[in-house]
Amino acid sequence: MELAQARSLYELMMLTAWADGRLEASETLVADALRSELPELHNLGDHAALADSAKARLQKLGLKRALTEVAAPLRDPADRELAFVCCARVLEADGIIAKEEFQVLAALKALFGFGSEDVARLLRRAAE
């Protein structure tokens, strides 16, 4: 995964976290854990700036347009699956799944062309 795709993946996680209008500490902790856990995300640089960028993009474009724009660099199926799994983990971080957060996964499902079986498999992977 190249740097542009890694930034896209992280910004998608931040859009997921900001989707309900607030960034919870638990969501930040999960995103930080994923940055440590995934080699693809090790060289992101200023992750706070990416979080701020996601928030600004969300406010400017709205959820669906922001997701579409940020997800565009993720063309490889494996990158798309990883992004979906990471977003699902962030979504579940605070134990509350707001309607707006659920809309993130529905939008990503459509953007990435995932079927119901794909989503079920990826959600099982996220829960591991």
- Over residues 86-113, the pLDDT tens digits come to 998 888 886 767 677 778 889 999 999 9
| Burial grade of 92 (CB within 10 A; 0-12, 13-18, 19 or more) | middle
- R_g of the chain computed on alpha carbons: 13
Q: What is the DSSP letter of 24?
A: -
Say whether pTM exceeds 0.85: yes
Give CA–CA dist 124/104, Å, rounded.
17
User: Residues 20-29: what's their mean pLDDT?
Assistant: 79
How would residue 35 be classed by pLDDT, with cut points 50, 70 and 90? confident
Instruction: Provide the residue ranges of all domains of the chain, joining segments of one domain with +.
Output: 3-127
* Token pair belonging to 105: 């996964």
Arithmetic mean of pLDDT, 47-75 = 90
The number of CA neighbours under 13 Å toward the Cβ of 24 is: 17
Average pLDDT over residues 39-55: 82
Q: What's the pLDDT at 73?
A: 93
Domain 3-127 sits in CATH at 1.10.3680
